Each structure stands twice: as structure tokens, then as C-alpha cells.
Amino acid sequence: MNYTLRFWIVNIVSTLLRLLIIGRIGLTIDEAHYWVYSKFLDLSYFDHPPLIGYIIKVSTLIFGNNEFAVRFPNVLIFFFATWIFFTCAKKLYNERTAFFGALLLNVLPVFSFLGSVITVPDSPLALLWLLSLLIFIALVETNNKNYWYLLGITTGLAMLSKYNGVLIPFSIFLFLTFSPKHRFWFKKKEPYFGIILSVIMFLPVIMWNIENSWASFGFQLNHGFGSSLPKFSLTFFCRSIGAQAGYISPLLFPIFIVAAFLCIKEAYKKNDRAALIISCFSLPVLVFFNTIATFNEILPHWPAMGYLVLSIYVAHLILKSWNIKWFKLYSYTALALALFMIIIVPLHVLYGVVPVEKFIPKDKIEQIEHGIPESERIDITNEVYGWKEVGNEIRKIVNSYSKEEKPFIFTYKSYLASELAACIPEIRVFCISDKIDAYDFWQRDLEKLKNKNALYICNDYFFSDPKSRYGDVFSSYADIETFPVYRNGKKIKNFFFTYCKSFNPSKLPDSYTTIAVKQKKDFKQEVLNFDHFIFKFINSDLKSKHLDFLVAPISYFDDKDFNLSFIIILTICIFILWKNKKDHFWTDLALMVSVMIVGAVIVHFFKHYFQRPRPLKVFDGNINTIYERLYTDSFPSGHTELAFSLCAFMFIMIKKYWYLYIIFAFCSGFYRIYAGSHFPLDVIAGALIGIVSAYMVVLLFRKYSKF
């Protein structure tokens, strides 16, 4: 049977079906929020890294600001993610398992509908997680060191999608630890360069957090782990497991639990490579988030990447056990229920086919709040309806006022602000609340709205009277006007509009303003502050008579323009070179000199260009020096560059003394800071120039030289 052909039929048909419905369903709260990301492009955001915002931006530039444009990338991402999933399963097992796994992926509610239609950061994360898995499988099969650089790129992109991506290196570490034949990679440079590459790609998020007082990291840590000390809660854990079972499908969920244990068993007892790879890329995620669930409430999609990879083994297990009659019947029933769930959800969203009132206790059926019956209030699919009508009503109200009295739009709930912003993309929406959210970082310009009139909007889900909430922030408030929203002839929710006059931001409590999140910091200045802090720590806090005794002779000769530390390192390296490479000694020595010259020239030009003052000048002499007293040309450190270029060269040529090279290089950098001659950034830059120049010169020599 041609399972590859069957796979492509399933993947293409399911993709076309999704493309048919994505433009017919209004945006969810989360999707609207990520659409707002695309309106405020930045290095990162308060609640998530930036990749999802850039993806939506590109799509909306092509297709316009509409539901189809927001969701189209997600459908495309799932198409390619399913293809990569199929390829991974085929490499680990066979085509039959791969096809059934892809089929399983298309019936699991968490992936088939939520993950492939609703645009959230988890979608690009899933694609990059699977791509990392595929690259790692290829690495294990071939031992091609270049795959580590690809892994660095995919891991970096995964972390730009969602912070969960940081677990990918941990999964790789686990596999290398538990697979004896692959532990040799711990001694190779490529895995560490891959990690450095992923960190470099993640730098925009780090930079944003530095500028914004680490707000995003703090928010996610608090959101994930809670704000108090962990305390075991069986209620939290059971609620989390129940929600995950609903996302996976209630009858398939037990198979996943059994599969997780059997996968570990096969990996441990049978040394099965496929089971070990799946275990390492799935179980750490499941264990990590479900451990958190024992003391803090988590969202059911947080462990989704674990279930995604585990689906490969689940497909393998189902096919392996297919001849067991009761299991076959159970599997058919479980798959049928999952299929029913992924069909009934979009049908209910589109046509309201589920009689929600049948699932409400009789005493609550007639309960009405703000004119909306309970049966409509609990139907979460109503969330995506009415926004176009509300948008048109807002335009009508705004345009009814003269240019001088035309109001700005605001609300007190970020969820609501994002939905409103999406339905009136040409009008900016503000969120003025006492809760820190993404809007606090987008509206640091509230003073520009002083004395302007405003239109306050809320609905019955997020109702709040503006007069009681804001008081004298506005000079007066008009009566609240109600705008009802209908679905299939039934009223499903109300929106409330209040015209407010003369906004005075100075009367807002601090908790309502950007003071609560602190002013945006200058990235360059924050880096320099940190640089100065580390310098002070090494130069002052670590000062001791023992270190002074070791550093004094070197500093004395440096003051006489004689680089004693470099001469010592150079002499030892030449001796090692002579003892180990006598046949090519003079060639290697010439190459060593070339490396040092190239690095020294680069440092010379950098010093001339940056002209950074030395610590002695920056701190007006209030630092510890020993003999050498320098005031100019601090960046980068020439001493450190020479030491690192020499040691990097020796590491390439004769690896067995690697520990000596590391000690020499790092001691040289430490000494320059301790003696008060350089800042840490000078030393880091010098080290990087030394390492890169050494590798580039040797690489070019090996490529073009006849020796």
C-alpha cells in the first residue's frame, strides 16, 4: 500500500477544508491579541516572544486585516508540520506508522482544530519543535556535525515563538546522556556553538526585557509557577489532567498515558533508539508542566509539544496492538469520538448545532444577566460573533462627532481592547486598567490624549461602570448606551458605550499608568551599567592580597610596555608545538604568527573607531590599579585578544592540552579587569576577535595552502 500517497491526500484535503472555514469564523480573544502584536512590531512583547506577531504582519500585508489573513499562516504551518511529523515517524519506524500518526494528528482536537486553525504562538513552536526533532534524527543517523548549527537555528526560532522552546536543548541533553554511543558529542565544540547560535537568535527578547525591567520573564515565571511558595494541590492536578484529556480526546488520552510508560520501558530495557528519541523529546515537557500543575493552575495546551511527539509512539503502539480484539474495538471507538469532536466543534461554531441548554442545571436555565440567558453566556463559541457589527457601530458613533469632539476608544480589559482593535483596525484602541498587561508597554504616550474626549466600551462578559472606575479622570460621563448582538435570531451579548469628556491622565492612579511598569530603559545604557557592575565586582569586591601578589609582576611589566603574560603563554605554546609537530613546526609557527597579526590589526582599528575611555577615566580614578594606569582606547582588550587567538590556534592544532589553553586565556582576561585596565565588555570583545580570527585564518590556510 502506498502510504506516502495516502498521506499527501489526507494532508492536502484537510488543509483545503481548513482554508474553506478560516475566513468564516470571527477571531478569538487570543488571535485578536496577537493581531495587535502586528500593529506594534517590537523586539518582543510582555506576554510572549515576537515571532507570531511578525508572521501575522506578513500575512495581513498580503491579504489585508481580516480573519483569513490572521489564520492563513497557521493552516500553512500545520500543513508543513504534518509533513515533518510524517517524515520523523517514517525515519523512526516505517511508512505505515507515519501515515497512521499523521492521521492521528488530524483527529486530535488540540492539533486538528485548535492547533491548525486558531493562530497562537504554539503553532510555529510545534513546527520548529518537529523540525528540531527531524534534524536531530538526521544527526543521530549520520553524525554530521553541521546539523548542530541547524539545531541552533531551529531552537532559536522556537524560543522566539514561545519560551517553551528552551526545553529543546534539554531534550537533546537527555538523549546524549542516556545514549552511550552518542556521548562523544559532549567533547565536541559543535553542540556548544549550536547553543551560542540559538542564544544569539534569542537576543531580541533579551534586549526587550533589559529595556523593560525584565517584565516578560517576570510575568511568565509568575504565570507559570505562581506568586507564592509551591503547595501541593490535588484539585489543580486533577483539573489539569481532565482538561488535557479533553484536548487530546477523553478515550485516546489513556492510550497516551500507557504509551508514555511503554516508551520509557522500551528505551531503557531494550535500548530502542526510536523510543529513546521520542521519550527525550516528549516526556520532559509532560513531566515539567504536570509537575507545575500539582501546585499551580496551568492551561491544558502548555504540555502540547510533549503530546505532539508522543503521538508518533502512540501510532506505533496502536498498530502493534491492532490484532488484540478489545484494543482494536477500543481504538475504533476512541478515534470515532475524536473525529466527532473535531467535526462538531466547527459545525457548532458555524451553525450552533449543539443544544447548550441541555447541559445546564434546570435552576440556571432561566437565569438572566444583563439581559442575556445563561445558555448563551456559557456558550464560548459566541465569543467570535458580533465584532463586525460592533465595529460598524463604533465607526458610526465616532463619525457622528465633530473633529474637535471626536473621541478616542478605550476600555479597561486587555482582552476586550484587542477584539475591539481587530474590528476597527483603522482606529487605535487603548486599555486603561490597574492590571499590568501588554497595553501598558504600547501606550506610554497617554499624555497626548490630555483634554480629549473618549468612548468607553465594555460588554456583559467584562462589565464595569466607567464613572465608578475612573471618577474625576474625566470631567463628565454621558448615560450608558446598550448595543445588543444577535446570533441566529437570539441575543447573545450586549455592548455598552459611554461618552466621556475631557480626559486628564494626571489624575489616574499610578497603577493605571506606565509608572506601574517603569519607564523604558535605554538598552545601551543598561548594558554599560551591567558592564560597570561586573567590573566593580571583579576589581573591588574580589580584591585580595593573594591576587595582588600574582598580578603585580605582570602589571609592572605591562607598565613598562612589556606584555609578560603573553610572552609566558607564547613560550609555552611554542614548546608544545615543537614537542608535538616537529615535522611542520616552522609552517605552524608562521601560521601562528599570522593569526596573531590578523587579530592585532582588527583590534587596532576597533580601538581607533570606538575610542572608549578606560575604567580609570570613567570612574575618575576611584578604582583599584596596581602599576599600569591607562585612560584611553579601552575597547577591545588587546591583551585578551592575543591570548585567546593564540589559545584558539593551539586548540585547533593540538587539542590534548585544551584545559591549559582555557586556563591561560581566561586568566589573561580576568587579569585585565582585576588590574583596572579594561571593562568586561572589552575583554569579551577581545576574546571573540581572537577566537574568530584564529579559526578564519586557519580555515583559509587549510583551504588554499599547498602545505
Question: What are the two backbone dihedrals, phi and then psi, of residue 30, each rounded to the nearest 5 degrees?
Answer: -65, -45
Q: In sequence order, what are the residues at sequence separation of 6 or more whose Cβ sits closer than 8 angstroms to the Cβ of residue 507?
A: 471, 472, 473
pLDDT tens-digit map of 642-667: 999 999 999 888 888 888 888 989 99
Phi and psi based region of residue 406 (left: phi greater than 0; alpha: psi -120 to 50; beta: remaining): beta
Q: Is the pLDDT of residue 226 over 80?
A: no
pLDDT grade for 22, boundaries at 50, 70 and 90: very high
- CATH number for the 523-704 domain, one of 3.20.20.70, 1.20.144.10, 3.20.19.10, 3.40.50.300? 1.20.144.10
**One-letter amino acid of 546:** H
Residue with more model confidence, 385 or 517: 385
How high is the pLDDT of residue 123?
Answer: 94
How high is the pLDDT of residue 584?
Answer: 81
Residue with more model confidence, 488 or 229: 488
The residue extents of the domains of the chain are 3-346, 381-504, 523-704
Residue found under cell 448595543: 483
At 501, is the secondary structure helix, strand, or coil? strand
Contact 661, 618 (CB under 8 A): no
What is the C-alpha separation between 186 and 86, in angstroms, rounded?
30
Counting residues of the chain whose pLDDT is more than 70, the rounded percentage is 97
At 135, is the secondary structure helix, strand, or coil? helix
Q: Is the pLDDT of residue 166 over 90?
A: yes
Q: How many CA atoms lie within 13 A of 359 on its CB side?
A: 8
What is the C-alpha separation between 151 and 133, in angstroms, rounded?
9
Mean confidence (pLDDT) of the chain: 90
How high is the pLDDT of residue 535?
Answer: 93
**Range 512-523 average pLDDT:** 75
How high is the pLDDT of residue 550?
Answer: 87
How high is the pLDDT of residue 101?
Answer: 95
pLDDT tens-digit map of 406-425: 999 999 999 899 999 999 99
Check whether the bond before 254 is cis (ω within 30° of 0). no
pLDDT tens-digit map of 75-118: 999 999 999 999 999 999 999 999 999 999 999 998 987 778 89
How high is the pLDDT of residue 204?
Answer: 95
Question: What are the two backbone dihedrals, phi and then psi, of residue 192, each rounded to the nearest 5 degrees?
Answer: -75, -35
Long-range contacts at 193-197 (CB < 8 A, ≥ 24 apart): 193/148, 193/149, 193/152, 194/148, 194/149, 194/151, 194/152, 194/155, 195/152, 195/155, 195/169, 196/152, 197/149, 197/152, 197/153, 197/156
- Cα 92 to chain center, whole Å? 28
How high is the pLDDT of residue 519?
Answer: 77
How high is the pLDDT of residue 583?
Answer: 79
Question: pTM for this one?
Answer: 0.88
Q: What are the CA-CA distances from residue 630 to residues 299, 469, 496, 620, 675 (Å)?
A: 57, 60, 68, 12, 11
For residue 539 the three cell numbers come to: 576589581
Bridge partners (DSSP) of residue 624 are none
How high is the pLDDT of residue 366?
Answer: 60
pLDDT tens-digit map of 532-546: 999 999 999 888 888
**Range 462-476 average pLDDT:** 92
CB atoms near residue 458 (< 10 Å): 22
What is the C-alpha separation between 15 and 9, in angstroms, rounded?
10
Q: Name the least confident of 49-58, 280-289, 417-426, 583-592.
A: 583-592
Phi and psi based region of residue 599 (left: phi greater than 0; alpha: psi -120 to 50; beta: remaining): alpha
How high is the pLDDT of residue 16?
Answer: 95
pLDDT tens-digit map of 549-581: 888 888 888 888 888 888 888 898 889 888 887
Q: Residue 408: which H helix or E strand, with range?
A: strand 408-411
pLDDT tens-digit map of 600-641: 999 999 998 988 999 999 998 889 888 888 888 899 999 999
How high is the pLDDT of residue 516?
Answer: 63
pLDDT tens-digit map of 361-390: 666 666 666 667 777 778 888 889 999 999
How high is the pLDDT of residue 621?
Answer: 86
What is the C-alpha separation between 675 and 519, in angstroms, rounded?
36
How high is the pLDDT of residue 620?
Answer: 87
pLDDT tens-digit map of 176-209: 999 999 999 998 889 999 999 999 999 999 999 9
